[in-house]
Amino acid sequence: MASLTKVPNPVKPNDIFYFIPNLIGYSRVITLILSFFTMKNYPIITMGFLYSASCLLDAFDGYYARKYNQSTQFGAVLDMVTDRCSTCSLIVFLSVLYPDYFIAWQVLISLDLASHYVHMYSQIVSGSSSHKKLKEGTNWLLKLYYENRTFLFLVCALNELFYIALYLYHFDIFYFPGTSIDLAFWLIIVCTPVWFFKQVCNVIQLVNACQILAELDAKKINSEKKAN
C-alpha cells in the first residue's frame, strides 16, 4: 500500500487508489450509499450522520490533495462523479416527497449532469490540467465560481443545504429548540438565492463548454481543409 503521507517514487498505477484524497472519496461514496437506505424513514440519521458526512468530507479531499501533492485525474473524476451522484440522488428522493414538481426535479437533474459532464469533457479535450482552471476570456462569473475556493465552497454548500432543507421540511422535525420556528423553512428561504445562482452558473457552464467544443471542432475542420 502506498504511503499515506507522501507520494512514492516511482508511482505505480495502483498507488493512485491509496492516495489520501481518494481514500476520503471512497468514504464519501460509502456514506452516500448508506444514506439511501435511511432516507425514507430515518431523516435524523440520514442528514445528521450519513448524507451530511458525505457532503462534509468533500471539503477535505482537495485540501489533502494539495498538501501532499496528490492531485490526480482519477481523484478529480471521483470527486465530481460523487458530487453529481450525491446531489442527483437527493433530488430523486425529493421527487418522491414532492411529486407535483416532478418536471422541475427532472430539469434540475438534467442540467446538473449535462453542464458538469460537458464542462469536464471540454476542459480535457482542450488540454486544461484541471476542470477548475479556466482559460482567459472565460465568463467572469464562471471564473469566480471555479477559481475562488472559498466562494466555490460556499456556493456548493448552500446549494446542497437548500436540498437538505427541503428534505427536512417534509418531515416537520427541524425546529429551533423550545420554539415553533421551523428551521428547515428558514434555511430554504436563506439558501434559495444561492441555489438559484448555482443554477445560473450551471447554464453558463454548459454554454461555455459547448462554445469551447465548437471552437475546437471549427479549428479541426479548417485544419483538415488546408491539409487537403
**Mean pLDDT over the full length of the chain:** 91
pLDDT in tens, 103-112: 999 999 999 9
Close Cβ partners of 70 (under 8 Å, ≥ 6 residues apart): 7, 19, 20, 21, 22, 64
**pTM for the full predicted model:** 0.89
182 in active site: no
Plot region of 128 (φ>0 → left; ψ -120 to 50 → alpha; else → beta): beta
Residue 68 pLDDT > 50, yes or no? yes
pLDDT at residue 178 in the model: 78
How many whole angstroms separate alpha carbon 177 and alpha carbon 85? 33
Marked catalytic residue, from 58, 79, 83, 112: 83
Question: Cα separations (Å) of 199 from 85, 205, 209?
Answer: 17, 10, 15
Residue 121 pLDDT > 80, yes or no? yes
Residue 102 pLDDT > 90, yes or no? yes
| Cβ proximity of 70 and 24 under 8 Å | no
pLDDT at residue 3 in the model: 46
pLDDT in tens, 201-214: 999 999 999 999 99
Main-chain dihedrals φ then ψ at residue 93, nearest 5 degrees = -70, -35
End-to-end CA distance of the chain: give it in Å, rounded: 52
Q: Grid coordinates in use for 99? A: 411529486
